[in-house]
């Protein structure tokens, strides 16, 4: 019987899932992805996580619990750094330990250290270590990784075209080909695990699309241009998320197609407290694009978020009509 590998569909899952799933499948494992985030998973996560963790980390715990009794191995790598001289959020460095000491009787965890801070030289060793949990056949691992990388670059191409992970995760991504119907684009900023998880984000992407807006994210921007812009910051942004977000912001404020910017942040996020503030300052200083910050946590009442989204969309549309000298409201004022 093939070995069962569980992958929690949370945190960096949305960035790397084609790579991870293909890799383990090519090695001959049965890959089991945890269920989409739902209230039960969130509840389990909250109950079993240290108190001061942020919502996405709590949700991750819930996903691990969902997999607990279904698999032989759970993939929870210690992702320290994926780019030179940069870090992911500090919570990721301690994630495997946080899980191990909060949840009892877990299956074996693949907690390989992924650290490319100094260079990518140890990539091969990292891949071998992860693959080693499934097979000792070095050639097979190498081959599986090559195939997985191809799948991953196919995925990245789709994202570049404007699809979001919530679209690519569907069986037939072209089934509802109306993602790009609204010409007005809204840039949605934030950590991928917040914006791409429909439960955590209170379905923000779909809510914006329902208003006929096209949603773009950091991932749909050209990485080279993003890096070039990020390099112009006063100081090197040593968080990968921060570099991406701020690079995107600096590109977006010069882009006329983008008519509004929303930053989705989870309550208590240390990175966002810095990145969000720099982003807001830059947007306000160098452009007149509407900007709003939405903060989410474990609450389920959607009224607060909905009010802000509706008002934001109203504002965008109102501005747009105004620029085309069609403002119904101006006519209305002058008629008085």
> Where do contacts with other proteins occur on this chain (CB under 8 A)?
35, 38-41, 199, 203, 267, 280-281, 284, 288, 290-293, 295, 297, 300, 303-304, 306-308, 310-312, 314-315, 318-319, 322, 327-330, 332-333, 336
Task: Please state, in angstroms and rounded to a whole number, the distance separating the CA atoms of residues 253 and 255.
Answer: 5
**Closest to 66 (Cα-Cα) out of 95, 91, 44:** 44
SS3 for 95?
Answer: helix
Task: Specify the residue, 124 or 307, whose C-beta has the smaller distance to other proteins.
Answer: 307
Task: Specify the residue, 175 or 300, whose C-beta has the smaller distance to other proteins.
Answer: 300
Report in angstroms how near the CB of residue 23 gets to other proteins at its nearest.
Answer: 28
Task: Specify the residue, 151 or 272, whose C-beta has the smaller distance to other proteins.
Answer: 272
Task: Specify the residue, 129 or 203, whose C-beta has the smaller distance to other proteins.
Answer: 203
Task: Give the bridge partners for 216, in sequence order.
Answer: 187
Report in angstroms how near the CB of residue 308 gets to other proteins at its nearest.
Answer: 6
Report in angstroms how near the CB of residue 334 gets to other proteins at its nearest.
Answer: 8
Task: Specify the residue, 103 or 278, whose C-beta has the smaller distance to other proteins.
Answer: 278
Report in angstroms how near the CB of residue 154 gets to other proteins at its nearest.
Answer: 31
Task: Please state, in angstroms and rounded to a whole number, the distance separating the CA atoms of residues 304 and 260.
Answer: 19
Report in angstroms how near the CB of residue 332 gets to other proteins at its nearest.
Answer: 7
Torsion of CA 179, 219, 52, 272, to 10 degrees: -110
Task: Please state, in angstroms and rounded to a whole number, the distance separating the CA atoms of residues 294 and 300.
Answer: 14
Extract the tokens encoding 214. 């096209």
SS3 for 26?
Answer: helix
Q: State the DSSP code for 181.
A: -
* Start-to-end Cα distance in the chain: 78
Task: Specify the residue, 62 or 247, whose C-beta has the smaller distance to other proteins.
Answer: 62
Report in angstroms how near the CB of residue 255 gets to other proteins at its nearest.
Answer: 19
């Amino acid at each position: 019987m093939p070995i069962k590998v569980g992958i929690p569909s949370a945190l960096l899952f949305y960035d790397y899932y084609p790579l991870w799933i293909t890799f383990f499948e090519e090695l001959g494992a049965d890959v089991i992805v945890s269920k989409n985030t739902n209230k039960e998973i969130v509840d389990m996560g909250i109950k079993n996580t240290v108190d001061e963790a942020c919502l996405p980390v709590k949700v991750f715990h819930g996903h691990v619990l969902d997999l607990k009794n279904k698999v032989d191995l759970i993939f929870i790598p210690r992702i320290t750094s994926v780019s030179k001289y940069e870090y992911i959020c500090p919570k990721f460095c301690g994630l495997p330990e946080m899980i191990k000491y909060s949840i009892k009787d877990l299956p074996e965890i693949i907690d390989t250290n992924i650290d490319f801070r100094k260079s990518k030289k140890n990539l091969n060793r990292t891949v071998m270590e992860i693959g080693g949990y499934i097979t000792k056949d070095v050639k097979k691992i190498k081959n599986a990784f090559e195939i997985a990388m191809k799948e991953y670059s196919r995925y990245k191409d789709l994202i570049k075209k404007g699809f979001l992970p919530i679209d690519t995760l569907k069986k037939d991504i072209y089934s509802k080909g109306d993602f790009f119907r609204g010409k007005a684009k809204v840039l949605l900023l934030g950590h991928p695990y917040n914006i791409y998880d429909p439960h955590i984000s209170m379905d923000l992407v779909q809510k914006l699309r329902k208003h006929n807006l096209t949603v773009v994210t950091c991932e749909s921007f050209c990485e080279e241009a993003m890096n070039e812009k990020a390099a112009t910051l006063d100081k090197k942004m040593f968080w990968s998320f921060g570099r991406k977000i701020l690079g995107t912001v600096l590109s977006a404020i010069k882009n006329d197609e983008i008519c509004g910017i929303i930053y989705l942040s989870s309550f208590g996020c240390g990175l966002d407290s810095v990145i969000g503030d720099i982003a807001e300052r830059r947007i306000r200083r160098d452009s007149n694009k509407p900007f709003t910050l939405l903060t989410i946590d474990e609450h389920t009442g959607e009224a607060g978020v909905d009010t802000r989204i509706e008002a934001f969309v109203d504002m965008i549309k109102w501005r747009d009509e105004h620029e085309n000298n069609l403002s119904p409201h101006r006519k209305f004022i002058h008629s008085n």
